[in-house]
Amino acid sequence: MKRYAMETSVGIFVVFGLLCIGYLTLKLGDISLPGNNTYRLFARFTSVSGLRTGSPVNILGIEVGRVEKLTMDQAEQRAVVEISVRKDIRIYDDALASIRTEGLIGDRYLNIDPGGSGEVLPAGGTIVETQPAVEISDLIGRYAFGEIRQENGKETADEK
């Protein structure tokens, strides 16, 4: 009888440990369970360099979603970004999506100015106004080779 009590307590301990490991895996891996509280939107860019699946989506500096998938629209020659956004966040059809960099050489993230004068985008809607990432290496190259000059304290690009 004492043997069965010991085996039962060890079995309960092992099952509890496995449940804890499963919970931590879901939480630390940012894995969402079915029936989650997000909806999908799309945005089309001319370039999504540096952006990757899992990159954060921010509105007003607050993370409200994640980049789910990056694909290419062959017909329009544009990159299509599929994002998931929390259901309690409203994004309007006049929203602006731009790719930004955290710091000078940090990771890229998708920043959304949610708009507000239009209609709310439904699930599966597309953000039309987009702005690709600014390439720091291109700016440095343009500055180094004299394509950017200063006028009255403002930097401007030389007209060719």
- Domain boundaries in the chain? 1-31, 38-140
pLDDT at 133: 76
Instruction: Calculate what percentage of the chain has a pLDDT beyond 90.
Output: 26
Give the tokens for residue 122.
């439904």
Q: What value does the mean pLDDT of the chain take?
A: 81
Using a 10 angstrom Cβ sphere, with 0-12 exposed, 13-18 middle and 19 or more buried, the burial of residue 93 is middle
Residue with token string 């597309």: 126
Summarised one tens digit per residue, pLDDT across range 57-84 is: 999 989 999 999 999 988 988 999 999 9
pTM recorded for the entire structure: 0.65
pLDDT at 29: 67
Question: Beta 126-127 vs 38-45: how paired, if at all?
Answer: parallel
pLDDT at 80: 92
Distance from C-alpha of 32 to C-alpha of 46, rounded to nearest angstrom = 30
Distance from C-alpha of 13 to C-alpha of 15, rounded to nearest angstrom = 6
Of 62-76, 100-114, 138-152, the poorest mean pLDDT is in 138-152
Give the single-character DSSP code of 120.
B
pLDDT at 148: 54
pLDDT at 102: 83
pLDDT at 107: 83
pLDDT(36) > 80: no
